[in-house]
Chain A
Amino acid sequence: MRMTDQEGLEREHAVFSAYLGSYSSDARVVARYSTAHAPMLASDDRFDRWLVAFARRGRVACSLADAYARRVRPYGLLRRKLTLVLALLETGSATHAHFDRARPASRIATLSALAGAGVWWVLRTALALIVVAPLHLAAIVAPGGRDG
């Protein structure tokens, strides 16, 4: 499926939103996601496009792709698309409350949660490097793949 297909964008928006913790099926929000793509989110980079296609497969793939992108493509297409989705989620009437609010807790509970998030991030990043890095390497060495 080509990335410019409306169906593909809708699926992408749904997967990315679910990955970030919330989802609005409001047609206006989905349309806004599509509108903001051109030209801000265009990319000629083959690996960038592949990473987005990989992330579109589902929440787990998206989390691995994002963890990998944060390390090697922090300003790439996937991170830009995810940032757009986050911006839509934090402003939408159905979703803003989750993103706008702090999560109050005792200091011990907060520090425990931060430590847990840190451990989970390390594991996820390690797994992302194991899974995605070989594919990235393949993209680079493949004919015509130097832009990866």
Chain B
Amino acid sequence: MADYLVIGSGASGVHFARTALDLGHSVELVDVGFQRPTPPLPDADVSALKDQLEDPEAYFLGAEGEGVVYPAPDAKPYGFPPSKQYVFRRPRQLQFGERLFHPLLSFARGGLAEAWTGGSYELLDEEFADFPFAGSAMRAHYDAVARRIGITGVPDDIRHFSPCTADYQAPIPLDAHSALLHGRYDARRGALNAQGFFLGRSRVAVLSRDLGDRRACTSLGRCFWGCPSGAFYTPGVTLQSLLHDDRFTYRPGLLVRRLLLDSRGAALGVVAVPIDGGGEVALRGDRTILAAGAVATSQVYLQTMQYQGRTDLQLTGLMDNRQVMVPFVTLPRLGADVDLASYQYHMLAMGIDRGHWRAAVHGQISALKAAAVHPIVSTLPFDLATSMRVFRRIRGALGVANIWLADHRRDANAIRLEPNDDGSTAVVLDYADDARDLPAARDAAARTRRALRALGCFAPAAMTRILPKGSSVHYAGTLPMTNAEQEHTTRADGSSRAYDRLHIVDGAAFPWLPAKNLTFTLMANASRVATLLGA
């Protein structure tokens, strides 16, 4: 029996496991574990890939065109390509309902962060106000994770929203579009800062120098379809390293149903079902670590309560960042060329100070380079041939600011189990905005557009999209860490107040959701908990 039975191979699970192994413990990791397909022609850039693949349409669009983004009222100007569909595949045994909140779930090796864009931001000390520990307790773990995975970043104006205390690699060079925006910001910094707008380099989990056997980014322009070189970090990279450790056991192909409890309600392990069919299997560990992501972890917890005969099958406080997309055209870039063979994700980060750190807005600015063209062109207001002509002329000027707003726990927003007609149960997510949410999102979008105008961009309000809840993929808050002795909460070491020997180390344990990508903090917190338990 392993010291730790970890559920889930996402950002939290693999960094808990890595830290625990480094401290001399044994780890067994249970996972559904859908696998990433091997990237073809790993040295080819995106254009060469289209030239050299035998069937490029199958790779980029899928064998049956499932990667095509068709025009629709709610269509996004991008889609997840077939090469990343494994991230969102669901096992057939999963029973799930959705209401006003449409979460993206992952059962892939590496979890949801297999499809992230790498934004890695430390929280400010004050952003730990609702946590049962100080921000200073996290700094060493931010640093450990940054060294482990490789993050680029510099101490620039983004420090106003995210400290820069960890060991970061130097950033990769800016593309011409991002460099233009950064230069214009430098020239207007005083006026923009007075409006509360700050801009700097994104902190991104991509290598600018080699790290172990991973090569630095070679600018293949294939980020959207999955980095073939390993320069861009996903948790699958850490999982791969765990597999070489003798004290690590990986158990893929299993969907965890509930905790295995002793007569006193302590967790002995979990009960899981094989996704390929077959009966339930019990897996045991000295301590059980739930790290399946906030939604799946809540599901396991609720199904355990149900197995115990409880009827109050609900966890409140579900959080998700409201996401707003602000597309823009940088007028000085009209007619400019685009370098397809370059790093594709955001290179600039932005923040808006709205008077209190809880109200701050954080965002990332991406210049359009290589991307699927048809989802963008089909949203332009012209016939498709004219749209294509216009698009080619303005392509080098197009960009998008993706901004997030913070969220806080509310009783009305919950994950619960609900009976189906056939006697089984499904997980249902309820999420209702409160009256301040949409005005706050509109205000954030308006401030972003105003700042972009000052940088020489045209950002039409009609193109701004306030995305539906669930879009940001930052879910949290159903089993929060707190010092208060309340049911369905966890302590500072992630230990459950309901079930002894159970620890929760993913977003479910977060009592507040800042307006920034949570993944780096999830990794650092998992490392912190593993260190506390292993000491």
Contact = CB atoms under 8 A, between A and B. Distances in A.
A58 to B, nearest CB: 13
B65 A79 contact: no
A15 to B, nearest CB: 12
A110 B70 contact: no
Which of B57, B72, B338 has most chain A Cβ within 10 Å? B57
Contacts, number: 148
Contacts of B396: 102, 104
A74 interface: yes
Given A79-B378, A92-B56, A87 B335 contact: no
B50 interface: yes
Contacts of A2: none
A68 B107 CA distance: 43
Interface in A88-131: 88, 90-93, 96-97, 99-107, 109-111, 113-114, 117, 120-121, 124-125
Nearest to A109: B335
User: How big is the A interface, by class?
Assistant: 35 or more
Nearest to A97: B47
Contacts of B71: 74-75, 79-80, 83
A102 B338 contact: yes
A117 to B, nearest CB: 5
Interface string A23-67: 000001100100110001000000000000000000000010011
Interface string B40-75: 000000010011110111111101110111111100
A104 B335 contact: yes
Given A40-B70, A111-B334, A121-B386, A87 B395 contact: no
B137 interface: no
Q: How large is the interface on B (under 10, 10 to 19, 20 to 34, 35 or more residues)?
A: 35 or more
Interface in B339-390: 340, 370, 372-374, 377-378, 381-386, 388-390
Nearest to B333: A107
Most chain A CB atoms below 10 A, which of B67, B71, B336, B394: B71
Given A29-B57, A93-B56, A114 B393 contact: yes
A83 B56 contact: no
A11 interface: no
A82 B384 contact: yes
A84 B373 CA distance: 11
Interface of B: 47, 50-53, 55-61, 63-65, 67-73, 332, 334-338, 340, 370, 372-374, 377-378, 381-386, 388-390, 392-396
12 contacts: A79-B384, A83-B378, A86-B384, A93-B50, A93-B52, A96-B56, A100-B47, A100-B340, A100-B370, A101-B392, A102-B395, A110-B334
Given A83-B378, A93-B51, A96-B50, 8 more contacts: A32-B57, A36-B65, A75-B70, A86-B374, A87-B374, A90-B373, A102-B392, A120-B386
